[in-house]
């Protein structure tokens, strides 16, 4: 009987940890480090709006931010910091 309760407790504990990993992994939060300003930019809906505006104002073709080269990322971050 003691072995049954031990296994059940272990199973419940494993399920709790698994749920935490699954729920935490679903957030999909991506952050980019801006070395020039020493801060992070969380890539969410608001940041995407700013990024799309930057592409439009600088007459660039749309490219995912992650695929841009470092010089273009630096240009975007400088532009982004001047928007506030």
What is the tens place of the pLDDT at every residue in 25-46?
Answer: 556 789 999 999 999 999 999 9
**For residue 45, what is the DSSP state?**
H
Closest by Cα among 82, 13, 59, 52 to 43: 52
**For residue 40, what is the DSSP state?**
E
pLDDT of residue 22: 52
What is the tens place of the pLDDT at every residue in 20-29?
Answer: 555 555 567 8
Mean pLDDT, range 47-63, rounded to an integer: 96
Q: Examine the pLDDT at 71 and tell me if it is beyond 80.
A: yes
- Give every CB contact of residue 37 below 8 A, 6+ residues apart in sequence: 77, 81
């Amino acid at each position: 009987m003691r072995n049954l309760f031990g296994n059940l407790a272990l199973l419940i504990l494993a399920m709790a940890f698994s749920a935490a990993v699954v729920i935490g992994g679903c957030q999909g939060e991506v952050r980019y480090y801006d070395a020039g300003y020493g801060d992070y930019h969380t890539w969410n809906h608001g940041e995407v709006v700013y990024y799309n505006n930057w592409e439009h104002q600088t007459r660039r073709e749309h490219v995912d931010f992650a695929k841009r080269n470092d010089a273009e990322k630096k240009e975007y971050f400088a532009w982004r910091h001047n928007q506030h």
